[in-house]
Every structure is written in structure tokens, then in C-alpha cells.
Structure 1
Amino acid sequence: MFLIRCNAFTFAQSMSAYGYKIVQTLIVDIEPDEHVKRAMNEINAAARMRVAANEKAEAEKILHIKRAEGEAESKYLSGLGVARQRQAIVDGLRDTVLGFSVNVPGTTAKDVMDMVLVTQYFDTMKEIGAASKSSAVFIPHGPGAVRDVATQIHDGLLQASSQH
């Protein structure tokens, strides 16, 4: 038997006085106490806030992951570009050495590399001087100093290769 309470007595009991026995009833509307309504609303709001916080955290996680993947791809492509640039420089230097050796008999690869290094030195000095807002760079600039720079670079490369 399903009972619906009405004030101090039950609906079923009140109807039994008239010979009715209520076995089942459809409840259409329940009107709980205002405190119960407020508590239920707070429970629902808290549950939604938890879900929203989890979704926000998940979205931030995805953003961080995508940003990191983008940076990794950018660094990879940048490294690939630097590697290709260095390979092009090496190929160009090799072609220069071979071409110069063929056209000027008796020159060695070291002579050609020293000449290329001096040319790059003067190109660098020219660019520094041409830039209107460049900082002053004081480098020994006599012909002997260029030879010293070439020797220092050569010795540094030899030391680096001997350590490996």
C-alpha cells in the first residue's frame, strides 16, 4: 500500500473511512520543504562545478600538450634548416676548393680555406660597418691578425676533433 501523508493523517486512512482502499497512486508533483530544495540545488551545483573544473583542467592540459608539440616541431624544423644550411656551406666550400685548385695549380686546400676565411672576415667587417645601429666590435684587423684568427680557428677545430 502506498501512503501519501496529508498534514496529521494519511490520505489512505482518510479514504478508508469511506470504504476505499488505495493500492497505488500516481504522484504528479512533489513539493519538498524549501531547505530540502536549497540543499538539492547546492548538491547539483557542486556536482556541475566539479565536472566543469575537470573539463577546464583537461582543456588546459590539451593546450599545453599541443603547445609543446608545436615547439618541438618548430625546433626540429629549425635544426633541419641549420643542418641544410651548414651542408650547403660545406658543399660550397668544397666546390670552391676544387675549382680554385684546378684553376690555380700548386695551391692546397689549406691555402684556399685561409683565403675563404679572410674573405669572410672582410665581409663580416663590411656588414658591421654598414649597419647604422651596430655595436662597435674591436678585432685586430691587420693582415697578420687575419692569419692569427685563421690559425686560432684551425687550432680550435683540431683540438675539438682530437677530443672526440
Structure 2
Amino acid sequence: MGNLIFIPIIFIGLIVLISAFFIVKQQTAVIIERFGRFQSIRNSGLQMKIPLVDRISGRLSLKIQQLDVIIETKTLDDVFVKLKVSVQYVVIRSKVYEAFYKLEYPHDQITSYVFDVVRAEVPKMKLDDVFVKKDDIAIAVKAELQDAMLEYGYDIIKTLVTDIDPDAQVKEAMNRINASEREKIAAQFEGDAARILIVEKAKAEAESKRLQGQGIADQRREIARGLEESVEVLNKVGINSQEASALIVVTQHYDTLQSIGEETNTNLILLPNSPQAGSDMLNDMVASFTASNMIGEQMKKTNVPKKE
């Protein structure tokens, strides 16, 4: 009978002994209380407490934590905007007691300070300035939180404004403005390109006309040189210049008729095409040159100043 009573006592004793040991994970602090009063702070590793006297009151993570706070406020130009502020904070190892006993809900406290700072800073700015100066807002939030939370054992590592979301109608208007600006820039580039094409085309046409004129001049120069050589050859065989010119004109006339006759699908008609056509053209040319020379001589005589 005595042995039966002794076995439960041994079993209970083992349970109590085992409960005296506990493990604390890395980057964690454990608060030990004795009869409801703070006793000690235990860090990572295998730890021991007095069974039935000491108890684990709480655990605090010593890792960097992040709290995302979404705030809706109004800008200086009366635009409602939602900001997402991410706060990265950590419990200071030397102030675990303050972090556990002084502040019951750290998330709520941090959120309240973020709301207070953002709603004090953003209404001073226009919407465009909120996007440009979001780092200034984050710095202001960190400065306010750092001073307030340090007393409670929390260190503010960094604050970031991670999102700025204006009202839907405002975003639509901003998108239309951006699209209009891009269309304006595209139109300017297209106009510049069209102007360059016009200028280059004009330059190309001018160069083409110049080269065409130069080619015509060279062609006429060579024709004149050929005619001059032909007249010289005919003069050597006793044919005077007038007869040589007539012969050349008649020859070119019949050469032209021959080249036209060789074309089967042509609608070209050369007038006049009689045998006397070459001679008539030469006589007309000689008469025109003679009349022109006479008019020139007469004008020279008329313009000579009279001596007094």
C-alpha cells in the first residue's frame, strides 16, 4: 500500500522538476515573475525557474518588426489621398522591462503617432508635392516616433512611405494630363521629323535640278563643239559655212525622221516633214539672226551720246 502512494509522489515530483526547466529561442527575451512581481529577464538558451513559485509572464521578440499603417488625409489642394507608412522597429535589449511593463499595445501607440504626424504634414502640401516629398514625410514620422517610443523601450529603425493612392477621379485626371503631355511631345517630334523630310526633299530636288541643268549645259556644249568640228571639216572640202550649216540641219532633220520611223508604237508627228523643211528652217534661222543683229546695231547707234 505504501509503495502505491509513493509512485504518484515520484511522478508528480518528476513533473515539477521538468517544469523547472524551459528553453528561450534566439532573439527572444522571457519575463519571469515571482508571485506576480517582476523577477528577471532570461535570454536565449536553457533556463531554470523555481517551480510553483516563478512563472513565465511573457515573451518579447528582439527581431526587427514592421508595422504597416494606412492613413487617409487631405492635401493642400483639397485632394483626398491614402498613404501607406511602413514603420520598422525593434525592442532595445537593455529596455526589455520598459517595453513589457510600460506599454501594453505598442502597435496602437505607433499607429496613433503615425496618424498624428501624417495628418499634420500632408495638409501643408499639394498633391504633386506629396509624391516629391514623401521622404520628408517619412523623416518627420521617424523623428516623432523616435522621441516618443524610446521611453517605452522601442527603437525606430526606419520609416517609409511605401504607397500614395489619390482618389480614383484624381488619378484618372492625372492620367489624362500625362497622356495629353505625351501626345503633345509626340506631335512635336512628328512635326520636327516632317519638317526635316521637307527640307531634305527640297535640298535633293535642288541638287537634282542643278545636276540636270549642268547635264543639259554639257550636252549643248558638246553639240556645239560637234557642229563646229563638222563645219570645219566641210570648209576644208570647199563648202562654205552657210552651205555647211544647211547640210547639217538637213542631215539632222532626216536623222530625226529615221529615228521616229524606227519606233512602231509611237504617236509622235514631226512637222514640217517635207523635203524642203530643213532648208526652210535654216533660212528662217539665218533671217532671225540677221534681223537680230540689225536691231542690235540700230540700238547701239541710238544710245550713243551726242557731242556738244
TM-score (norm. length: structure 1):
0.78
Higher percent of residues as strand: 2
SS in structure 1 opposite 2:164?
coil
When residues 145 and 137 of structure 1 are mapped into structure 2, their CA distance, relative to the original with a 3 A threshold, is closer
Count, aligned residues:
149
Higher mean Cα deviation, 23-32 or 46-55?
23-32
Letter in 2 for 1:111: E
Superposition deviation, residue 154 in structure 1: 3.1
How many Å separate the matches in 2 of 1:23 and 1:67?
59
Question: Runs of at least 4 residues of structure 1 off by over 6 A?
Answer: none
Aligned to 2:212: 78
Aligned to 2:265: 133
Superposition deviation, residue 6 in structure 1: 4.3
SS in structure 1 opposite 2:261?
helix
Aligned to 1:91: 225
When residues 23 and 153 of structure 1 are mapped into structure 2, their CA distance, relative to the original with a 3 A threshold, is closer
How many Å separate the matches in 2 of 1:159 and 1:124?
28
Larger Rg: 2
Higher percent of residues as helix: 1
How many Å separate the matches in 2 of 1:125 and 1:101?
26
CA RMSD of superposed structures (Å): 2.8
- State the structure with bigger RCO (CA 8 A, min sep 6), 1 or 2: 2
- Aligned pairs for 1:1-164 within 5 A: 6=72, 11-12=115-116, 24-25=140-141, 26-102=160-236, 104-105=237-238, 107-135=239-267, 136-142=269-275, 144-157=276-289
Identity score, percent: 32
Letter in 2 for 1:44: N
Structure 1: segments with no counterpart, 5+ residues: 14-21
Structure 2: segments with no counterpart, 5+ residues: 1-69, 74-111, 118-137, 142-159, 297-308
How many Å separate the matches in 1 of 2:291 and 2:207?
34
TM-score (norm. length: structure 2):
0.43
